[in-house]
Chain A
Amino acid sequence: MNVWKHLRSWEGFLGLVLLLTIAINAFNSDAFLSIDNQINLFSLSIEKVIIALIMAFIIINAEIDLSVASMMGLSACALGWLVDSGVGMPMALALCLIIGMAGGLFNGFWITFMKLPSLVVTLAMLIGFRGLARVLVEDRSIRVFPKWFEDLGQHPILGPFPLAVLIFFLLLLVAVGVLRFTGFGRYVYVIGINQDMARYSGIHVTRVKLILFTASGIISALAGILFAARLGSVRGDMGLGFELDIITMVLLGGVSIFGGSGSIFGVILSILIVLYLRNGMSLSNITGHLQTGVIGMLLIFSAMVPNLKSYWESLQARSS
């Protein structure tokens, strides 16, 4: 099928870029391949990577969620505020996840029942959730977490892997399992291809979307908790701007912005590429602006490649 060929060419291209990146990095710096560095480069962006998993689902579903980073910040600030107000850790953690769920449901409500475009709703909530985070934390930085919480966030617990990385692996398995092997996963694709057709086929579109946005809220909240643990303290501006990085990772992975195609495998490849590129450039002391510029060029270029390939093929077909 055409769709599979398209996917293969994108992911093949990504695979090549990844190998190239690893080779250049290893050549440039001895430190690159060390276990320490590998764990670090993942840990530094683990929250974004976790959210990218659910974002892939949402974009395949032909929707978008711009509020994920603000929800991450909100849940982290809520955790700090709750603990600071005397609430015990287990209760505070549970409440944060509930806040995530509520936020996701809130988004889902406006998208499915009020039928507003998800771009609009989540853009408004990008501002709204961030505002709520600020209301809780104001101009303070809250540092009240018990040592065990910070240890979980900052130090390895199983071999060299910190908790956040382990949670990511778990969520990865769930994501691949659901997307490729369950009916729900198929519905996500079908709705992404054509929402009305899906509805006529008897798929409960509203339920699927509500589930996706609620999941997005809960996972963003979870990422916020992990973020708070890693940093040891919370501030009102945590995670500001992360949503664009997350979306870049998903789009670079070959997930079409129009919905209906893409795979977790592609997203994983793109995550690796982005993280390795950034790490390699950091190790070579290339500054943040240039890094962002390179990622930007890579994004555009990788979108061009499948088009170039089909353009080339159509040229050949015409000349023959």
Chain B
Amino acid sequence: MTKKFLAMAAAALLASSGLVMAHTIAKKGMKADLVLMPKFLGILVFDQANQGAQEAHRELQNPGKLEFLGPTPENSVAGQIEILTTATTQGQDGIMISNNAGDQIAPAAKAARSKGMTVVTWDSPIPSAEGEQLFIAQVDFNETGTVMADMALNIIGAGGGEFAVLSASPDAANQNAWIAAMKEALKNPKYSAIKLVDVVYGDDQSEKSYNQALALVDKYPNLQLIMAPTTVGIAAAAKAMQDEGLCDKVKTSGLGLPAEMVSYTMNGCAPEFALWSFVDLGYLSYYATYLIATGQIEGIAGETFKAGRMGYYTIEKDPTRAEGLRVLMGPFTVYDQSNVEAASK
């Protein structure tokens, strides 16, 4: 008798907890005017993100509008703040920001939140998480450090050697986070053979990055690898090594677009590099923002939702920042000669 009762109680408990742990499936057709804001316009990866967002927009049959608005590269920081402020004035329901303004956008984001706007970041978060409800992280930022360290070890080999980092702008929050994560990762004795000798900045400009790559080679005669966690930097560094005939001695790696890097990977200048899908990132960001803006989820830790074709994602506390929630999208893809050509189509 007691056993039966216990069994029934257990079943009831399980059933009710199953209800509490329900995954939210997005209800289509609800209206939400949303804005997708990249760091700046004119760059392929952000267009890919827009592609993904538009795909999600169509799938969800949102009768509202999806605007793709971004500043010019010369005016990225001030421009992003302006677009966010204007979106608040226009009464948009939500905005998805790939943040290039660091914490400087926090006041505008807080103002937007106080007017009831949904503020979600993707690709690059607001470091202090102030004004931000959720960050859609393409990859775990700490993991980025490990992936870069692994690629470095793989390319340099067990014999050991020196390598340097060619980053974007010294103010870029995501690159800085990745480099910091990599420095942490390098403390592991597994990487004791490789040594990081310098971090230089190419400002995401071809000329600067190219010249910096050459300067690295001149400053550190034993350099074996240039790690560039920026698509502009990696392409410029690879070209520089190719032009100077240094590809045998100094390899290039980092985060790059298959389409831009395919020739360098096939000729050995950049044997290995990594990235994620920006299309998927845009798609996932749209789903998350739509769900929060239409009130279907609250945007708190523990909630799980289904993002269309990508499957289930859970909101969790972001372990790589002091504050903030995130949804972790997915794995890196490491490209080398075996898969880069297919990916570049």
- Do A and B interact directly, with beta carbons closer than 8 Å? yes
Interface residues of A (CB under 8 A from B): 29, 31, 34, 36-37, 40, 44, 134, 138-139, 141, 143, 150, 153-154, 230-233, 235-238, 240-242, 278-279, 282-283, 285, 287-289, 292
Q: From known contacts A141-B103, A141-B127, infer whether A36 and B89 are also in contact, taking CB-CB under 8 Å.
A: yes
Q: From known contacts A236-B171, A287-B41, infer whether A154 and B89 are also in contact, taking CB-CB under 8 Å.
A: no
Least CB distance from A139 to B in Å reads 4
Q: Is B29 an interface residue (CB 8 A)?
A: no
Q: Is the CB of B89 within 8 A of A44?
A: no
Measured between alpha carbons, how far is A232 from B78 in the docked complex, in Å?
13
Q: Is B229 an interface residue (CB 8 A)?
A: no
Residues of B within 8 A of A279 (CB): 86
Q: Is the CB of A139 within 8 A of B72?
A: no
Least CB distance from A132 to B in Å reads 14
How many residue pairs link A and B with beta carbons under 8 A? The number is 85
Residues of B within 8 A of A237 (CB): 77, 169, 171
Interface size on B, residues (CB 8 A): 36
Q: Is the CB of A231 within 8 A of B107?
A: yes
Residues of B within 8 A of A285 (CB): 67, 69
**Closest chain B residue to A237 by CB distance?**
B171
Residues of B within 8 A of A288 (CB): 40-41, 70-72, 75, 79
Q: Is B81 an interface residue (CB 8 A)?
A: yes
Measured between alpha carbons, how far is A191 from B102 in the docked complex, in Å?
44
Least CB distance from A48 to B in Å reads 9
Q: From known contacts A287-B69, A288-B41, infer whether A282 and B104 are also in contact, taking CB-CB under 8 Å.
A: no
Task: Report 12 cross-chain contacts, Cβ distance below 8 Å, ordered by A residue.
Answer: A31-B89, A31-B90, A44-B78, A139-B170, A154-B107, A232-B103, A233-B106, A237-B169, A237-B171, A282-B82, A282-B86, A287-B69
Least CB distance from A297 to B in Å reads 16
Least CB distance from A164 to B in Å reads 13
**Closest chain B residue to A43 by CB distance?**
B85
Q: From known contacts A288-B72, A289-B41, infer whether A235 and B67 are also in contact, taking CB-CB under 8 Å.
A: no
Q: Is the CB of A31 within 8 A of B91?
A: yes
Measured between alpha carbons, how far is A163 from B157 in the docked complex, in Å?
59
Q: Is B128 an interface residue (CB 8 A)?
A: yes
Q: Is B248 an interface residue (CB 8 A)?
A: no
Residues of A within 8 A of B90 (CB): 29, 31, 283
Which residues in window 150-204 of B have CB below 8 A to A?
A: 169-171, 173, 176, 201
Least CB distance from B77 to A in Å reads 7
Q: Is B74 an interface residue (CB 8 A)?
A: yes
Measured between alpha carbons, how far is A240 from B91 in the docked complex, in Å?
30
Least CB distance from B187 to A in Å reads 20
Measured between alpha carbons, how far is A288 from B102 in the docked complex, in Å?
20
Which residues in window 203-234 of B have CB below 8 A to A?
A: none
Measured between alpha carbons, how far is A233 from B89 in the docked complex, in Å?
23
Which residues in window 64-110 of B have CB below 8 A to A?
A: 67, 69-72, 74-75, 77-79, 81-83, 85-86, 89-91, 101-104, 106-107
The 8 closest A-B pairs by CB, nearest first: A139-B170, A231-B104, A288-B72, A282-B86, A233-B103, A141-B102, A235-B171, A288-B71
Residues of A within 8 A of B111 (CB): 154
Q: From known contacts A44-B82, A285-B69, infer whether A233 and B170 are also in contact, taking CB-CB under 8 Å.
A: no
Least CB distance from B306 to A in Å reads 30
Q: Is the CB of A141 within 8 A of B85?
A: no
Query: Could you list 18 further interchain pairs (A-B, Cβ under 8 angstroms) beyond the known A134-B170, A138-B170?
Result: A31-B90, A40-B85, A40-B86, A139-B170, A139-B176, A141-B171, A154-B111, A231-B107, A232-B106, A233-B103, A236-B170, A240-B74, A241-B74, A241-B75, A279-B86, A285-B69, A288-B40, A289-B72
Residues of A within 8 A of B128 (CB): 143
Q: From known contacts A139-B176, A237-B169, infer whether A232 and B107 are also in contact, taking CB-CB under 8 Å.
A: yes
Q: From known contacts A141-B127, A288-B71, infer whether A233 and B86 are also in contact, taking CB-CB under 8 Å.
A: no
Measured between alpha carbons, how far is A34 from B67 in the docked complex, in Å?
22
**Closest chain B residue to A285 by CB distance?**
B67
Residues of A within 8 A of B171 (CB): 139, 141, 235-237
**Closest chain B residue to A231 by CB distance?**
B104
Interface centre among A34, A236, A289 (most CB of B within 10 A): A289
Our pick among B42, B82, B102 for the contact of A235 (Cβ within 8 Å) is B102
Our pick among B70, B77, B169, B170 for the contact of A287 (Cβ within 8 Å) is B70
Least CB distance from B195 to A in Å reads 20
Residues of A within 8 A of B78 (CB): 44, 242
Least CB distance from A249 to B in Å reads 15
Residues of B within 8 A of A240 (CB): 74, 77
Residues of B within 8 A of A238 (CB): 77, 104
Q: Is the CB of A282 within 8 A of B102?
A: no
Measured between alpha carbons, how far is A47 from B74 in the docked complex, in Å?
17
Our pick among A241, A283, A289 for the contact of B86 (Cβ within 8 Å) is A283
Q: Is the CB of A233 within 8 A of B82?
A: no
Residues of A within 8 A of B72 (CB): 288-289, 292
Q: Is the CB of B107 within 8 A of A283?
A: no
Residues of A within 8 A of B83 (CB): 282
Measured between alpha carbons, how far is A134 from B170 in the docked complex, in Å?
9
What are the interface flags for B118-135 relative to A under an 8 Å C-beta threshold, 1 for contact and 0 otherwise? Answer: 000000000110000000
Least CB distance from A252 to B in Å reads 18
Measured between alpha carbons, how far is A18 from B90 in the docked complex, in Å?
22
Q: From known contacts A233-B103, A237-B171, A289-B41, infer whether A44 and B85 are also in contact, taking CB-CB under 8 Å.
A: yes
Residues of B within 8 A of A34 (CB): 89
Least CB distance from A106 to B in Å reads 25
Which residues in window 45-81 of B have CB below 8 A to A?
A: 67, 69-72, 74-75, 77-79, 81
Q: Is the CB of B41 within 8 A of A139?
A: no
Residues of B within 8 A of A153 (CB): 107
Measured between alpha carbons, how far is A240 from B203 in the docked complex, in Å?
13
**Closest chain A residue to B103 by CB distance?**
A233
Q: Is the CB of B170 within 8 A of A283?
A: no
Residues of A within 8 A of B91 (CB): 31
Measured between alpha carbons, how far is A36 from B111 in the docked complex, in Å?
12
**Closest chain A residue to B35 by CB distance?**
A285
**Closest chain B residue to A143 by CB distance?**
B103
